[in-house]
Amino acid sequence: MPKITTRVVNSLKSKSTQYKISDDEIRGFGVTVYSSGRKAFFVQYGSKNRRRRYTFGDYGTFTVEAARGRARELLQGIEAGNDPLVQRLQQKAIPTFSEFRSEYLLEVSRRKKEPKRDEYFLKHKTPRTWDNVPVDEISVAMVQRHFDDYSKKYSIACNRWLASLSAMLQSAWRKSLIPENVARKVQKLPENPPRTRVLSDDEMTRLLAAIEKLPRPHDRAMFQILIVSGCRISEVLRARWDDIDFNQKIWRLPKTKSGKPQQIPLPLELCSLLQTLPRKSLYIIPGRGLRPRTRPTFIWKKLCQDAALEFVGIHDLRRTAGLAWARSAGLHIASKLLRHSNVHITEQVYSPLGLDALRAAMQERTKVLPFERKAAAK
């Protein structure tokens, strides 16, 4: 058994079958010569009855000296109880980022109402260079680098991307594929404060007058339903005639943002309005063919122009209804009518808008103090 050197490896010729030679200096180190001409370095270890061979690199990729150094490291690890073949099998069981992403998105499609957002961020806004990287090799530095680049153009969307990535890596952590969720170590950017635009009484009067001038009854009904019910525009556009129980005056929403079926109590006036509408489709607000109507962006812009409204979105109608309910019936009732999962969600948006009501309540409380009675006497 000669010492394996560059001259010796270069002199090895391929044969019809593969063969191997071993080094006379490092026990267990050797090189295999394949019939194709490929030459690969290996270490061999284990008892006589259970010999194992671990091939770790090709000649050309490894120089002979680099292969000798790697062989020493592997054999020292084997002495310490680390089997490189077992580690390789474990590594093969770790999917690449692309492979686990496909598995995760399939899971998401089964349990999330709107999985397209995760698909958009994880497939189209994540670097392609990550696709073939084992998911356990995604590092904090990689996530932070892309987050910083993404945030230069999209300061809020980068937070959404980070949230989708973190949820995916958390799933990998629960399956013991990664030791930790590295996305959690990246700090999100501050979010914009929640929108607080509501319509004043005067603005609502002008808007209602503009709605009355719309030529199509279904267009008028669409905005009147939004104003009275406080529903989301998507819920109104997807509403079917079968969802309305005119006897009990209930509107059933089979698909909602929360993913759970919900019910809305309909006032008598709204029921009467719906009963006057021609039934042209399965949907209350008919679209083209069998599909629901698309978002009425053009009509809304025209209404805002006719009513002289500035910086008002369709969703502000829902916020306006919520504020009116909070003032007249309390935050708890407003939360129920808005169908929020938690009253704190309602409170975050409507409490800042209710300062007048809070001030009046605080003023009423001062009547218990002596100086209030003295001031009244004067």
Q: Which residue has the tokens 């409204």?
A: 309
pTM above 0.85, yes or no: no
The answer to whether residue 368 sits within a structural domain is no
> Where are the alpha helices (H) located in 214-351, listed in sequence order?
217-229, 233-238, 268-275, 297-306, 315-329, 331-338, 343-350
Question: Are 86 and 155 found together in one domain?
Answer: no
Strand order in the sheet with 262-265: 244-245, 250-253, 262-265
- CA 333 and chain centroid, separation: 30
Question: Are 247 and 349 found together in one domain?
Answer: yes
Residues 6+ apart with CB under 8 A from 304: 310, 312
What was the pLDDT predicted at 197?
86
Angle between helices 140-151 and 157-174 in degrees, nearest 10: 160
Domain count, the chain: 3
The answer to whether residue 370 sits within a structural domain is no
CB-neighbour burial class of residue 4 (10 A; exposed 0-12, middle 13-18, buried 19+): buried
pLDDT per residue, tens digit, the chain (378 aa), is 689 999 999 999 999 999 999 999 999 999 999 989 999 999 999 887 778 888 999 999 899 999 999 999 999 999 888 888 777 766 667 899 999 999 999 999 888 777 888 999 999 999 999 998 989 889 999 999 999 999 988 878 999 999 999 999 999 999 888 889 999 999 999 877 777 788 999 999 999 999 999 999 999 999 999 999 999 999 999 999 999 999 999 999 987 666 678 899 999 999 999 999 999 999 999 998 888 999 999 999 999 999 999 999 999 999 999 988 988 888 888 888 888 878 877 877 665 555 566 667 777 777 777 755 555 555
Question: Are 351 and 220 found together in one domain?
Answer: yes
Question: Are 179 and 213 found together in one domain?
Answer: no
**Nearest one of 223, 227, 208 to 325, comparing CA atoms:** 227
Q: Give the residue numbers spanning the domain of 133.
A: 97-185
CATH of the domain at 351: 1.10.443.10
Question: Are 89 and 102 found together in one domain?
Answer: no
Structure token digits, residue 220: 């008028």
> What totals of helices (H) and strands (E) does the chain contain, helices first?
17, 7
